[in-house]
Structure formats: structure tokens, C-alpha cells
Chain A
Amino acid sequence: MHLKYESFVREPLISGNKTYAQVTEDICRPIEQKPSRLWYMGFIFSLLLLGFGVFSVVWEVYWGIGTWGINRTVGWGWDITNFVWWVGIGHAGTLISAILLLFRQGWRTGVNRAAEAMTIFAVMCAGQFPIFHMGRVWNAFYVLPLPNSRGALWPNFNSALLWDVFAISTYFTVSLLFWYSGLVPDFATIRDRAKTKLRKKLYGLASFGWTGTAKNWQRFESLSLVLAGLSTPLVLSVHTIVSFDFATSVIPGWHATIFPPYFVAGAVFSGFAMVNTLLVLVRKIFRLEDYITLGHIEAMNKVIVLTGSIVGVAYLTELFMAWYSQVLYEQEAFKWRVLGPYWWSYWAMMACNVVSPQFFWFKKLRRNIVFTFILSIVVNIGMWFERFVIIVTTLYRDYLPSAWTYYSPTWTEIGFYIGTFGLFFTCFFLFAKYFPVVAIAEIKFTLKTSGDNYKRQMLPLEEKSVEEFVHAAEHAH
């Protein structure tokens, strides 16, 4: 018998009376069934959104960047707002898969697969914005470290914008590798169960011929641990570098050392909200409530209230520093941000990001599915406004009052944003149908320590006094 067990003080992570076979069955069921009508409706709707996005982007590329509402004063508008927003959302996936792995948080196993998928799709969406923001998108390869054709003129490696290119592409690659290396054994499970030839063929390819020998698993664990160790500083670096896009400039309102931690906290905040939005739906539609339990949702809500409060402190610190710095330009920037024509975006941000997560101090609300779902959307709206506030409300009142302006997006910009939702949900619907949305092998690995039925077997042990337990263990042989 294993002496290693987890006390009932910790909530079981897998409820219901599960065995290894049952775990496989539950998670593979949605893949092996025909997709429901709801799935088709959602998928087609996402494809339509994607189509509209493609149309908007083609329109913009054909007629030029002038079809967007950005102007000489507000050079960064919805495009960069959406870029930062999507990248931020991605951060939760890596936080769950990497940082929580290093912290040995068992609850990550239920949600990491879907959260990592979300990361990858969100980064894909994010990447579109800076690329099309370039305007002459056919010259996008100029950001690559290649000498150009008129002599060996290289990109500027000292520029935060170029750091971003490296950060985002590395982040995407490493997340994809981490995610897929975990998927390989699960694809092998689906392959070995497959009844149809096509499924056997495709999952055979996708599983890379994995068979799961003891040595394979040993290397698997080593790889996961090192990739987690690499991803942890990576995820922190990515949003730090995104914040450098602003902080290394000399624009009042942007030029602040608080930006990196403030951006990272905001990214985790919005990312966890998005994970909650998706998982509340996924667990319901695929009947995975036993694996993505209320305990999982509650844990994520705790992260939301923590990071939401950090973000709130950052907002107040910014205001305080603007006043305390005695710099006129800094003070004016924040005056226009809070009270100017865009006051509504600032206060929407404050209400959604600082006030609304405070409800999660109450356990009842943390464990309420409907409330969690609504609040997760509110938080994401708030975090979108945060990026809008940082970008647009800093730029629209610049140094010369004659250049002061107001910015509103055109339909192409809105269409582009809608299109990335299409891309994200198209990918997510395909993922939910064809990929195991919960990591099968990892759940099995935690089943005997955190499964409800296995924990229950330990109850008689818990009732013993410590002396009695030690005595029994010593004389067991």
C-alpha cells in the first residue's frame, strides 16, 4: 500500500467513482461521438466571423491603412489594443501549465490542456495585429534578422518592437512544443482505441508512434519539467517585453518602470478570466464536471481576485506617481486619461478590473458557475479597456494642442477584431472536437492521490492518531 496519500482537507480533484479505464472513456467520448448540432452551429458561426475578418483585412491591405481610423496623433488604436489583449489572454495557459507545474499544484492537470490550447490560439490571434499594422504587409519580412538587398542593413536589435518579434515568436513556438509533447501520449490512447480506419491513420500520425515504455515516460517527465522551467521566465518576459513597447518610449503616461509587473499581472488576470469562460462551457457541453470541478473554478477565481487586486494597486500607483512626480506633462496625461473625453473608458476599466473581481472574496460567489461565467466576461471587457486606455488615452492629447484629436475605429478595424474571435473559436471548436480537452495521462497519474474514491479509502487512516499510525506502519512487515 502507498503510504503517500493526500488528506481529505484538500478537496478531491477528480470526483465520481473513477478508474483508469473510466478516465479514458470519459475524455475520449466527445472525440469518438458525432459532433452535436450545437457544435456545428458554433463552428459555422466562428467560420463566418473569421470570413468577415479576412474580408476586412483584405480590404485594408488593398486600400491601405487609411481605411482604419488611426491618425497622425493616435497612431496606435484598436490594432495594438487587440494585440496586447490577446497576448495577455495567452499568459494564463502558460502560467497553468508551467508555473503551477513547478509549484506542484495538482489542480492544474484538469485544466492545463485546454488552457494551453487557448494560449496557442490567442497568440495566433495576437500576431495578426502587429503584422497588418505595418501597413505594407508584404514588407513584413523586414523584421526578420536578414540583411536587406541594398547592403547588409540589419533590423535594429535595440528596439523594443523587435524584441517583441522575438518574444512572441519564441513564446508561440515553445508553447506549441510544450502542448504537443503532452498531447502525443494522449493521441496514442485515442489511436489504440480507434475503431475506424481513418481515425487510426490520423491519430497514428499525430501520436508519432508513441507506445509509452518506462524510458519514454522518464524522458517525458524530464522534458515537461525543463520546458516548464523554460516557459516560466519566458511567459514573464513576453508581457514584460510587450510593456517595453510602451515603457521604453518617452511618452508621458507610458514611460514608467511599473509597466512590466503591472502588465504581467494584468495578463494573468485576463487569461484566467478567459480560461474560466471557456472551461465553464467545455465542462458543461462535454460533461467533464468530474475533472473540471468547482474546486478548479474556485482556484482560478482566487487567482483572478489576486491579480485583479495587483492591477488595481498598479492603477492607483500610476495616479499617485503622476501627482508625486511633480512633472506637468505626467500630471496632464493622467488628467486627460481620467477626466478627458475618454473618461468612460477609464471608468469602465476601473469598474470591471478593480471593483468587480472583489466579489470573489466570497466563497459562495467563487463557487457559483453562473456568476463566474458572467464575471469572467466582465473582466475581459475590462482588460480590453485597460489596453485601450493605456494606448489611446495617452496618445490623443499630445504635446501640441493643435494636434489633439479623437479616435474612433472604422468597420475594417472592428471587422479585424471580430475576425480574430472567429480564428480563435474556429481553432477552439476544432480542438474541442478532435483533441482530448483534458490531459488523459496526467489525470491518471493524479487519480490515486486526488481521486474522490481513492481518497475515501484513506478515511479510516485519517481517523487514527499519529502514534497509532506510525506504530502500525512500523510493524507492518
Chain B
Amino acid sequence: MAIKRFAVATYDDEAVLFPAVEKVRNSGYKLHDVYTPFPVHGLDVALGQKETDLHIAGFCYGITGTATALGFMSWIFTQDWSINYGGKPFFALPAFIPITFELTVLFAAVGMVLTYCYLNQIMPGVKKHVFHPRQSDDLFVVVMEITDPAAEAEMVQFLNSTGSLETTVQVAEEGWWYGWWHKEEEYQKQLA
């Protein structure tokens, strides 16, 4: 649990958000995160984030599926319990292809989704602080961490100058915890 103070700026237009993000990155203040209601293309680049390697993980899971299916069926039909089906070879590779393909897709999809949930830290029962209720509606929310309490007023002023509609200061838990979403008020009381 890391409880910190944050300055929260809100924007309602991508055309304002992008220059603001650039200014924020150049300002030297510590950026916590940017929350948007939908994928804004180019925002990851503007924030200097690297491309995700999720698809590489997907490829690895897929290969695992291929190997599992081919290996398992081959072992069963050549080693464990060979059955003569109409005089066809025990190792009938063409007949193994459909199941091999399906398991490749299954492993890749399931593995990737689990990895995605792990990386994004999402799961049923996970609670995170929502800085602005409209961050999933129509506002782009830039959250700065206040590392130096003396600079707080200055930071708010700076964020307002970047075109923020409304800038607030919030005390919040930075990560995630197990909790219920309808108990928001209780969590706020605990923090205060």
C-alpha cells in the first residue's frame, strides 16, 4: 500500500491533450499516468512508452499448443496405445493437423488473455482508485504525483496552464487492492 498525493488534470479534447502531455513530460514533474475512455492512438508514443510485447507472448503460447497437441497425439498413437484404423499408419500426420491447429489457437488465446490480465492487473475483485468518474466517459485525465508538497500549488497552476478544465489534488492509493467498488466512500474515509 502506497498512499500518495496526486494532482489530477482533466482534458476534453485530444487536440489539447497531446500538447499538454508533451509539456508535462518536459516539465520535470513526475507523471503518474494518463487515463482515457477509449484507445487514443499515438498517446503511448507521446508518453514515450515502448510497444507491448504481448503478441510475442501469444506466439510462445501458440507454439506450446502446437507442440502439446502434436506430441501428445503422436505419443498416444505410436507409443502408448496404437490402434489400427483401417490399415492407416499409426503416425497419421495429416489427420493430426485439425486438432493441432485448434490447440495452437486455444493456447495462444487463453495464454494471452491471462498474461494481459496479469500485466494490466485486472481481475474480478480488483479495486483501483478512479481519479475522475468521467475518465471512462468523455474526459482524458492526466495524473501527476506530488513528490514535493511545497510545489503543489505551482503544479496545479502549471496543469491549468496546459488547458486542463479542472485540476484537483487527491490523496489516493497508487496501486490496486482486493475490494468492492460500492465501498468507495469507506475507502476514502480510511484515507482521510
Binding site for B on A (CB under 8 A): 1-2, 19-21, 24, 145, 147, 151-154, 156-158, 160, 162-163, 166-167, 170, 173-174, 177-178, 181, 184-185, 188-189, 191-193, 197-198, 200-201, 203-223, 225-227, 230-231, 233-234, 237, 241, 244, 440-442, 444-445, 448
Q: Is B37 a contact partner of A212 (Cβ separation < 8 A)?
A: yes
CA distance A152 to B72 in the complex (A): 13
Contact in complex: B136, A188 (CB < 8 Å): yes
**Inter-subunit contact B54/A192 (CB<8 Å):** no
Distance in angstroms from A149 CB to nearest chain B CB is 14
Question: Chain A residues near B58 (CB, 8 Å)?
Answer: 226, 230
Contact of A219 among B35, B52, B92, B101 (CB under 8 A): B52
B98 in contact with A170 (CB, 8 Å): no
Q: A213–B122 contact, CB under 8 A?
A: no
Establish whether residues B112 and A173, one from each chain, have CB atoms under 8 Å apart when the complex forms.
no
B 157-192 binary contact with A (CB < 8 Å = 1; else 0): 000000000000000000010001110100000000
Cβ–Cβ < 8 Å partners of B154 in chain A: none
Query: What are 5 of the A-B contact pairs (CB < 8 Å)?
Result: A193-B137, A211-B130, A215-B49, A226-B112, A445-B38
Number of interface residues of B (CB under 8 A): 69
Nearest A residue to B39, CB-CB: A217
Partner among A19, A174, A219, A441 whose Cβ is within 8 Å of the Cβ of B119: A219
Query: Is the beta-carbon distance between A153 and B106 smaller than 8 angstroms?
Result: no
A244 to B176, CA, bound (A): 49
User: Which A residues touch B39, using CB under 8 A?
Assistant: 217-218, 220-221, 441, 445
Residues on A with beta carbons closer than 8 Å to the beta carbon of B87: none
Identity of the chain A residue whose Cβ is nearest the Cβ of B35 in the assembled complex: A212
8 A Cβ contacts from B51-89 to A: 51-52, 54-55, 58, 62, 72-73, 76-77, 80-81, 83, 85, 88
Tell me the complex Cα distance, A192–B136, Å: 7
Q: Does B133 count as interface, using CB distance less than 8 angstroms? A: yes
Stretch binding the partner chain, chosen from B1-9, B22-30, B40-48, B144-152? B40-48
Contact call B124/A208, Cβ cutoff below 8 A: yes
Establish whether residues B113 and A177, one from each chain, have CB atoms under 8 Å apart when the complex forms. yes
**Contacts A20-B37, A200-B181, A233-B105; A212 near B135 (Cβ below 8 A):** yes
- Residue among A151, A185, A206 having the largest count of chain B Cβ atoms under 10 Å: A185
* Contact among B47, B76, B80, B102 for A166, CB-based, below 8 A: B102
**Leading 3 A-B pairs by shortest Cβ distance:** A204-B181, A209-B126, A20-B138
Interface residues of B in 105-133 (CB under 8 A from A): 105-106, 108-110, 112-113, 116-117, 119-128, 130, 133
In chain B, what residue has the closest Cβ to A198? Answer: B182
Q: Name B's A-contacting residues (CB within 8 A).
A: 12, 14-15, 33-40, 43-44, 47, 49, 51-52, 54-55, 58, 62, 72-73, 76-77, 80-81, 83, 85, 88, 92, 95-96, 98-99, 101-103, 105-106, 108-110, 112-113, 116-117, 119-128, 130, 133-138, 176, 180-182, 184
Structural contact, B122 and A209, CB atoms closer than 8 A: yes
Of B83, B102, B127, which one neighbours A156 at CB under 8 angstroms? Answer: B83
Q: Please, which residues of chain A bring their CB within 8 A of the CB of B80? A: 152, 154
